[in-house]
Amino acid sequence: MHDDRNLVEARLRRVLDERIRPAVYPESVPLQVAVWHAPGEPVPVAEGLAAEPAPIEVGARWGAPWGTSWFRVTGTVPEAWAGRTVEALLDLGFDENMPGFQCEGLVYRPDGTPVKGLNPRNQWVRIGAPVEGGEEVRLHIEAASNPVILDYHPFRPTRLGDKDTAGHEPQYTLTRMDLAVLDETVWQLVLDLEVLGELMAELPVDSARRWDILRAVDRALDAIDLQDVGGTAAGARARLTEVLAAPAVPSAHRISAVGHAHIDSAWLWPLRETVRKVARTTSNMTALIEDEPEFVFAMSQAQQWAWVKEHRPEVWARVKKAVAEGRFVPAGGMWVESDTNMPGSEAMARQFVHGKRFFLDEFGIENEEAWLPDTFGFAAGLPQIIRAAGSKWLLTQKISWSQTNKFPHHTFQWEGIDGTRIFTHFPPVDTYNCSMRGSEIAHAARNFKDKGRARHSLAPSGWGDGGGGTTREMVAKAARLRDLEGSATVVWETPRAFFEKAEAEYPEPPVWVGELYLELHRATLTSQARTKQGNRRSEHLLREAELWAATAAVRTGFPYPYEELDRIWKTVLLHQFHDILPGSSIAWVHREARATYERVAAELNSIVEAAQRALAGEGETPLVFNAAPHPRAGVPAGGAATPCTNGATTLAPRPEGGHVLDNGLLRIEIDAQGLVVSAYDIDADRETIAPGAAANLLQLHPDFPNMWDAWDVDEFYRNTVTDLMDADSVTAGEDGASVRIVRSFGTSRVTQVLTLPPRERRLVLDTEVDWHETEKFLKLAFPLDLHVERYASETQFGHFHRPTHTNTSWEAAKFEACNHRFVHLTEPDWGVAVVNDSTYGHDVTRTVRTDADRGTTTTVRVSLLRAPRFPDPETDQGVHRFRHALIPGAGIADAVREGWWINLPERRTTGAVEVAPLVTVDNEAVVITAVKLADDGTGDVVIRFHEAHGARARATLTAAFPYTDLTVTDLLERPGGECEPPVRDGDRITVRLRPFELMTLRLHRLRDR
């Protein structure tokens, strides 16, 4: 037999494109169109419907960037179409390759009832099936003219990312506004041929199944009259029946398809536009659920559900109905799909508290899976948090984007820093926007790394990022793939159903220990410094507000601000979304974030000040409130007292030029260029700075990654570096304990104040950068005289060790990593910590010196600022302030304590009385991260704490208030928790904790009668 495969496949492509697809809508008539352009921001639906539009013709330009236009389309169904299926085809000027990334619309009936969303892959609205003929059609479209930010030439700087700079030129051309007859037989033929053609392309050329399909397709094409596709489509379909009915082999890979629309809560659009994206998508998905009895749709991010409830009550009613039917499924149990590297311990816990509680309160549904398909890597502390929230599974996909190493599993147990394991799945389809193409399904089956032990994988299916969701074409393809020879089998299932099957078939999966590091998007630890500072400071202000408000409520009857704290927490959690906190959103998003963080700070400071005033009373006694979990200067943790003051710092000229600071514990030498050339630990007789090197060294690199500008820093940035050695001035501070340094470079200026506090083992570096560079990366280096093979970085509820060497490609790929408040490096008897108040990115490298001592220099570099131009061309321009501290002679306990110190500065006031802590703990290894009143309003006190040093710990907590009983709870403050029960003896509670173990206690207070 002659090989005519290429001939038949080419024939299929052309006939489909030029004859069969155009015949899906064989007849059409134009609709009349009018438009009203809303001034300014989007208007309420009622206002948009009531506005008086002006006529507009197909082919006209419309839509200024970020504008809203209300189209009214009217027409009459021709009498001749009676008995046929009729749809409105509404093309706003779509590019079908950009679903979710350009203009979109939501269709309403005249009474304001939402019908469905419009996007590039979903342009139809059903009028009738069948129609009677003569029906009057009147629809309204709320159309958003969102500009294209990520274009065919991606990553080019654009001013379209902020309404203030985007201009007013129309973005789109109105393309089609018709009533059309849908030929459902031709539509089904298109899907038959697409599924078979895509499957055929994935099968081996020498496979009998491929040739069976080829011959069937050839016969079907023979049956098509190209001048009468509609009249011959049924005959063509009949010739495909046999190959479509052939069942899959018993060993076929099994795919659980989950309807999905990954909607970034902000990214290349602002938060307000996401509210509308969610409304469009949920309208579409509830409509699809009504039409397709097997389809199941899952949506994560409780915040997005809350937006629908608040802003689109008509859509919310449809959503609630579909949830009750088990077809529209809450997923993930988090407030948003957050970044997981940078959020602090309590914030990461509250993502689950507020997310799970929303779904429990609204639907009575308990989520057991964490759903984070697009998050940029996962911190090693996360498994314990997932388990403590009452969940047990994790899904993500993003690790498949890693550039260097391919992750060895798709289904596995992920073990965190405390030993908690979470059953985890990476969909081998390698996308969270699966569209049911044959190439995607075949890739999932081939790519699955756990063959021979497991057969199930999950495929999130639907257009995402900008929303849109699953289409009827995807559902139709899935129906054909349910049991089809040569293909993996596909069935619509909920995430829970998938995980239950996957866990049952794979009872002993492999284990991965430690962080799930994404070998990509490393620069998200640094981009948009103000957003990151806003997050860090909000987290610590929330701790203070809860602590002092709870203390005041118990001691004085102060009204605990339940509603305010709940609202503020949700605001902060929203801004931890994985394109806001990482700094990868458009300028508009970060401009609004800065303003939001300022409002949050003002409101939280007001709560703190009111609670402290209630506690301290009116008086003139100097008081310091200490919100940190460790005592300092005689002030107890969680209390207020008059601080102890003693000791002094001397400041003297350095003979070689510069200055020497000495406080009896440390002697710091700062040379004439403002560099720290010595940090001498007097008690230990130990130098901190490597010989011949200098700390407080600012280093500037070129920073132009190959793609994903705000997201990525590529390793080649290190090839070129400029050490900023020259100082404009180095002067002694007037306080006698500091040195002020000014440097200029490029068009930027740095002002630093280096302070050595009395009797503290801490050199504080306050850095102000007036930053006006472009495509540069600024680092702050500390070359240390330490020989270490690994170092510790703080993460949620503990710390995680990373190697300092690059023995393997896995280690080499971690050339930029995340820490929270500290990094710590130590030899067995002496160590150093570098702590910070708002930075996350860092790198640690090691070299062996070639001089006579042949010692090891281990350099810690803090990442301060970047200047990418996409998607925000003005990223981080302007003034920034950072605080860091170098802690010579630090053990891990010092690193933990100093990390808290730098993030929770003392608050000085005057009052009548000192304030005793509400609860104390006698072991500094046990760190209290939250003291608050229970969320249910009962007045019970909730205390959350963990072992922070990485060792077993026994501790006694003492509560300084009466309570009747105590309960170990999960994060949602419900009875539960997998821990050794505490022992109560009066007001003393003894606990035993594993390394990094987290515990939450609820102390039940006496109720007022």
Could you give the residue numbers annotated as active site? 374
What values do phi and psi take at 742, rounded to 5?
Answer: -125, 130
What letter represents residue 428's amino acid?
P
CB 182 within 8 A of CB 95: no
Q: What is the DSSP letter of 472?
A: H
* CA-closest candidate to residue 426, choices 463, 391, 401, 453: 401
Which residues are CB-contacts of 243 (< 8 A; sequence separation ≥ 6)?
Answer: 196, 212, 213, 216, 485
Q: What is the DSSP letter of 1007?
A: P
* CA-closest candidate to residue 383, choices 421, 343, 423, 339: 421
CB 701 within 8 A of CB 719: no
- Separation CA 389–CA 702 (nearest Å): 43
Dihedral sign for Cα atoms in the order 462, 468, 470, 471: negative
* CA-closest candidate to residue 909, choices 646, 625, 626: 625
- Separation CA 366–CA 495 (nearest Å): 12
277: which 2 tokens? 């994206």
CB 574 within 8 A of CB 510: no
253: which 2 tokens? 């890979």
CA dihedral in degrees (215, 220, 223, 227; nearest 10)? -130
The burial class, CB within 10 Å (0-12 / 13-18 / 19+), for 984 is: middle
Which residues are CB-contacts of 653 (< 8 A; sequence separation ≥ 6)?
Answer: 659, 660
- Separation CA 644–CA 636 (nearest Å): 11
- Separation CA 998–CA 945 (nearest Å): 6
* CA-closest candidate to residue 597, choices 605, 586, 609: 605
Place of tokens 């020497």: 660
270: which 2 tokens? 């602002």
CB 328 within 8 A of CB 289: yes
- Separation CA 508–CA 279 (nearest Å): 41
In 23-52, which positions are buried (b, 16+ CB within 10 angstroms) versus exposed (e)?
bbbbbeeebebebbbbeeebbebeebbebe
198: which 2 tokens? 């895509």
The edge-to-edge listing of strands for the beta sheet with 659-662 is 650-653, 659-662, 666-670, 676-681, 686-687
462: which 2 tokens? 């639907």
- Separation CA 708–CA 980 (nearest Å): 47
What 651-658 contacts at long range (C-beta under 8 Å, 24+ apart), as own/partner pairs, is 651/732, 651/733, 651/736, 651/737, 651/738, 651/739, 658/730, 658/739
| End-to-end Cα spacing for the chain | 94
CB 24 within 8 A of CB 230: no
Q: How far is CA 206 from CA 201, 203, 209, 438, in A?
A: 12, 8, 9, 18
Place of tokens 């130990």: 686
Beta bridge pairs of residue 936: none
- Separation CA 904–CA 899 (nearest Å): 9
CB 12 within 8 A of CB 221: yes
CB 395 within 8 A of CB 369: yes
